[in-house]
Structure 1
Amino acid sequence: MSTQTTGTIAVFGATGQQGGAVVDALLAHGARVRALVRDPRSDRARALAARGVELAAVRTDDPASLAAALAAVAGFSFMTPEANSLEEVETEIRIGTALVDAAVGAGVPHVVFNSVFGADRKRGVPHHDSKHAIEEHLRASGLRASMVRATAFMENFAGVLAPSLEHGEIVLRMPLPEDAALKMISIRDIGRVIAALLLGTAQAPGGAVELVGDELTGPRIAALFGAHAGLPARYEVLPLSVLPTDLDRVMFREFAKAAEHPGDPAAVRSIEPATLDLAQWIRATDWTPPTDAAAA
């Protein structure tokens, strides 16, 4: 049984996309929010303050600043910067460990770690293994903790994975096999799930939840964009070699492996019933096809 939480909720990473979505969801519920920021004078921090968010200046290498920022809070949401190298893995683990230790010292009643899919065990993937180490440290801390493990962002289809329009046809290209179903979630819903856990309106089954709002193959994804635009659509598989970095290549290999194990969107909707599937996200964002590349 969930017990609804009142009191101030602390958010680390509030000036970023995912942390910002947490703040949005908390404010929508009338919660008091304290954002832990490096520079309270930055434009993004000031924008939070203008919305009624309390700002607390912190340095992750300064335990006193973290302790002060987490004093008397009812809950704490944090995420850590993505690691792209062994050096960055060490930095990420150090930051995550410092935040967990500060939460222990402050006696925070509930901590939610915004992790990543696959962080439930070591995989030899830098940005997964760093978060796995932080999850393990958090579990060993004795704190009441929930792990939310984000999958691919639907917002990528408005950016790096955006379909193109060619000769009047919607074309989606990804380095993912045709029969591999991509697990995905909207950034909005990451924030809503975390807020629900922090506010005590829901619980993560077993203390962790993989965030899957939808799970579709490339051809099915292309078809949804085509149907929305009222145009024919097709999917093309790209080789992993087109990706610019080793991290990107590793990530898409993980997407393909994850497709072997079906997700559980129902578990996510038990926490946030309004979680978007991809068709709903396309409508909600009023997606429109780009200019026809062939006509340019």
Structure 2
Amino acid sequence: MGKKSGTIAVFGATGQQGGAVVDALLDHKARVRALVRDPQSDRAQALTARGIELAAARTDDPASLAAALAAVEGFYFMTPEANSLEEVEAEIRIGTALVDAAAEAGVPHVVFNSVFGADRERGVPHHDSKHAIEEYLRKSGLRASMVRATAFMENFASVLAPCLEHGEIVLRMPLPEDAALKMISIRDIGRVAAALLLDIAEAPGGAVELVGDELTGPQIASAFGARAGLPARYEALPLSVLPTDLDRVMFREFANAAEHPGDLAVVRSIEPAALDLVEWIRAIGWTAPTNVAGS
């Protein structure tokens, strides 16, 4: 496998995961072309400032997509996260349009940013949409690799952030305390995808489940407690605390996925520096919050 030197096209470059792919490609000194709806937008202009070529492309305009993918050596895409059944249909439409354009342009290798569990139908709308796109991509005849993201470690710096209560680090999640959560840092999603796009590595069997670590709630809590030098505890919450059906379904999936241990060695064979949770906590410089909940 020789490292590629041609242009790699990225759809979703202004988003979190696509942005991480762009970062990793630039670290490898790769040439990047970002497919964007509006090249004049601030986010698109920020890409230009980093030496990235912009291609104006609309998913409802096949000619613009085929032109944007002309003469590229690899193509990374992800589809917008669907939060309703209408959005699921729209997501599948976008995914199939991108696959059709890649086939039309004869792209040598396509990497699709999917989600864990998308290898089969599960009755989970935003997983089944990714499953449908994976199947469509498989049938396209294109050389394709799927990178299936698990829960983001970054959630522990935002929606799932541990709090400090009475001198104790407390982590609460709607996940049974014996269920191990599969997780990955967004940085490493980008690094694995870039390694595949540049032919530095291959996805075994055409797909990689992106797991950088796999820990239960109490283990996650104690990792933050150890970092803060404080006692820690975990509280499992009921699924009913979640605001939407889709969120509830997703956490149910996290619990189900815990029954099938991930293969952490696969990600490290592609990206040896992939972060486990303790390394991620250190890398972001996490410190214990000063707020006391309820005060």
TM-score by length of 2: 0.99
Residue 272 of structure 1 is matched in structure 2 by 271
Contact 1:168–1:292 at 8 Å: present in 2 too? Answer: no
CA distance in 2, matches of 1:252, 1:275: 24
| 1:59 aligned onto 2:67 | no
**Counterpart amino acid of residue 184 in structure 1:** M
Residue 185 of structure 1 is matched in structure 2 by 184
CA distance in 2, matches of 1:16, 1:269: 24
CA distance in 1, matches of 2:181, 2:61: 40
Residue 21 of structure 1 is matched in structure 2 by 20
**Counterpart amino acid of residue 251 in structure 1:** M
Residue 120 of structure 2 is matched in structure 1 by 121
CA distance in 2, matches of 1:3, 1:214: 30
Residue 155 of structure 1 is matched in structure 2 by 154
Q: Which runs of 4+ in 1 moved over 3 A?
A: none
**Counterpart amino acid of residue 63 in structure 1:** P
Contact 2:8–2:72 at 8 Å: present in 1 too? Answer: yes
CA distance in 2, matches of 1:62, 1:295: 52
Contact 1:167–1:292 at 8 Å: present in 2 too? Answer: no
Residue 108 of structure 2 is matched in structure 1 by 109
CA distance in 2, matches of 1:88, 1:220: 35
Residue 261 of structure 2 is matched in structure 1 by 262
Deviations 1:38-70 (A, max 9, x none): 111111111110000000111100011001100
SS at match of 1:14: coil
CA distance in 2, matches of 1:55, 1:92: 23
Unaligned runs of 5+ in 2: none
Shift of 1:5: 1.2
CA distance in 2, matches of 1:59, 1:242: 38
Deviations 1:103-140 (A, max 9, x none): 00000000000000010010000000000000000000
Residue 200 of structure 2 is matched in structure 1 by 201
- Cα separation, partners in 2 of 1:10 and 1:294, compared to 1, 3 Å: closer
Residue 6 of structure 2 is matched in structure 1 by 7
Equivalent residue runs for 1:277-288 within 5 Å: 277-288=276-287
| 1:253 aligned onto 2:221 | no
**Counterpart amino acid of residue 140 in structure 1:** K
Shift of 1:295: 8.2
**Counterpart amino acid of residue 240 in structure 2:** S
Deviations 1:209-232 (A, max 9, x none): 100000000000000000001111
**Counterpart amino acid of residue 78 in structure 1:** F
Shift of 1:155: 0.0
Shift of 1:89: 1.0
Unaligned runs of 5+ in 1: none
CA distance in 2, matches of 1:261, 1:56: 41
Deviations 1:53-110 (A, max 9, x none): 0001111000110011000000000000111222111100000000000000000000
| 1:242 aligned onto 2:202 | no
Contact 2:163–2:293 at 8 Å: present in 1 too? Answer: no
- Cα separation, partners in 2 of 1:212 and 1:95, compared to 1, 3 Å: same
TM-score by length of 1: 0.99
| 1:139 aligned onto 2:138 | yes
CA distance in 2, matches of 1:295, 1:88: 37
SS at match of 1:293: coil
